[in-house]
Amino acid sequence: MLARLTMIATGATQATRKGRFPTDEALEPRSFERAGALAISLRRADRVWTSPELAARQTAEVLGLDPTVEPLLAEQDFGRWAGKSFEEVQAEDPEGMAAWLSDPDAAPHDGESLTAVARRGAALLERLAAESGHTIALTHAVPIRAAIVHVLGAPLSSVWKIDIEPLSLTEFRSDGRRWVLHASGVVAGAI
């Protein structure tokens, strides 16, 4: 049984452009334009899922997709850090920031740990391995990074060494037994 998963990173928001921990916010105006250009080259999918967050739902809409909301694709919950810049958090809570970056089980922001995000991603991949066909999933950088390290069998701390650009595509393929990373950081039409 062959399964294909194309994860599309949501378009940029004000938080992503300003180096802030995200909140549930709208796409920035330029993202609507860029997503419209991406829509032209997307391939057909058997299923389309989206994160519950507004930016993901708006990205799907601009791409002309009719998705089902999938909670496993949700952005990491950054708790009390949401909306703050990385510099603000570093100044206010340097120990918390250090713990968050070095310990995947840490959640000093009273939100969700990286391990919890990775568990959601692993559950999604396990479910999809039993499905044949192509799934498009609109989500955020952290869940995409977590899926990549899961498939590669890399340490979860490796997520911070992966850059996921807004509106980039990451593709995985499965034969029903295992997943492989087919492509990452590419534009639509190239995979």
What is the tens place of the pLDDT at every residue in 157-180?
A: 999 999 999 999 999 999 989 999
| Predicted local distance difference test score (pLDDT) of residue 189 | 44
| Predicted local distance difference test score (pLDDT) of residue 35 | 84
**Sequence-separated (6 or more) residues with CB below 8 Å from residue 23:** 15, 82, 83
Enter the DSSP assignment of 39.
H
| Predicted local distance difference test score (pLDDT) of residue 162 | 95
Rounded-to-integer distance, Cα 103 and Cα 23, Å: 23
In the numeric block, which tokens belong to residue 156? 């979860």
* Prediction pTM value: 0.93
| Predicted local distance difference test score (pLDDT) of residue 169 | 94
Q: Between 141-152 and 114-129, two packed helices, what is the crossing angle to 10 degrees?
A: 70
Rounded-to-integer distance, Cα 131 and Cα 3, Å: 6
| Predicted local distance difference test score (pLDDT) of residue 187 | 61
Residues of the chain with pLDDT under 70: 1, 187-191
Coil, strand or helix at 37: helix
Coil, strand or helix at 164: coil
Coil, strand or helix at 49: strand
CATH architecture of 3-78+112-186: 3-Layer(aba) Sandwich (3.40)
